[in-house]
Amino acid sequence: MKFSLLTVTFLLIGCNEYSIKNKVEKTEPPISPKVITTIPEGAVNANFLGAQDSIYAYVKEVDMRSEKTTIAFQNNKLPKISIPESVGAELQILKLKKFNKDLLLVNAKLKHTNFNEYYLYFWNDTAWTQPVNRFAIHKSNMSDTLVPIQTNPNDSTQLLRYYSVFDMDRNSAQKYSWRLLSESLPIENSD
């Protein structure tokens, strides 16, 4: 009887150890980590390359000392753009007639906050080009509805851009004012 009691006890202990050992050895296959792509704050997604997939543009670096802003692109697919005399930027995408790709509109932040300075860029398959020179709009001329640059509604081969000019004004308390003007410019480098 003692022998059977000892045998049953060893069997129970042995089975318990076997069960614990199997639980330890049974591990689930490792879960592969999900790759999460974090898009930088303020980034804009656009079709700069034409028929290819869109990529995002973002403000990569702002050098306050030299007043230079660097704009970079997803996975360095396109060369960086350097904006001089700026301390930051806001990016916007424009889709304009006569352009087969999206354009990048950069609203450069200046040290003196009285102006919004704009740069328009188009990727021409080898380099960034500017179909128009940079232009500025005084804060007194800005409104929520003002579109700084667009296709001219009267001539689709032209761009219409707005800009501010200094004007002597004897009637104002400051003796000057800023007038908002517009000009129509031929579209260049659209292919």
For the segment 134-173, what is each residue's pLDDT rounded down to a tens digit?
999 999 898 888 889 988 888 888 889 999 998 877 676 6
CATH of domain 44-186: 2.40.128
pTM attached to this predicted model: 0.74
pLDDT at 3 exceeding the cut of 80: no
- pLDDT tens, residue by residue, 72-115: 999 999 999 999 999 999 999 998 888 889 999 999 999 888 88
Residue 29 DSSP SS3: coil
d(CA 161, CA 180): 10
User: How crowded is residue 30: how many other Cβ atoms within 10 Å of its Cβ?
Assistant: 6
Exposure string over 142-158, b if 16+ CB within 10 A, otherwise e: eeeeeebbebbeeeeeb
pLDDT score, position 40: 87
Name residue, tokens 């069997």. 11
Read off the tokens for 100: 């087969």
Of 46, 74, 77, 37, nearest to 58 by C-alpha is 74
Work out the percent of the chain whose per-residue pLDDT is above 70: 74
* Confidence (pLDDT) at 24: 47
pLDDT confidence of residue 93: 93
Place of tokens 């579209």: 187
Q: Where are the domains of the chain?
A: 44-186
Please determine, for residue 191, whether its predicted confidence score (pLDDT) is greater than 80.
no
Give the pLDDT of residue 34.
54
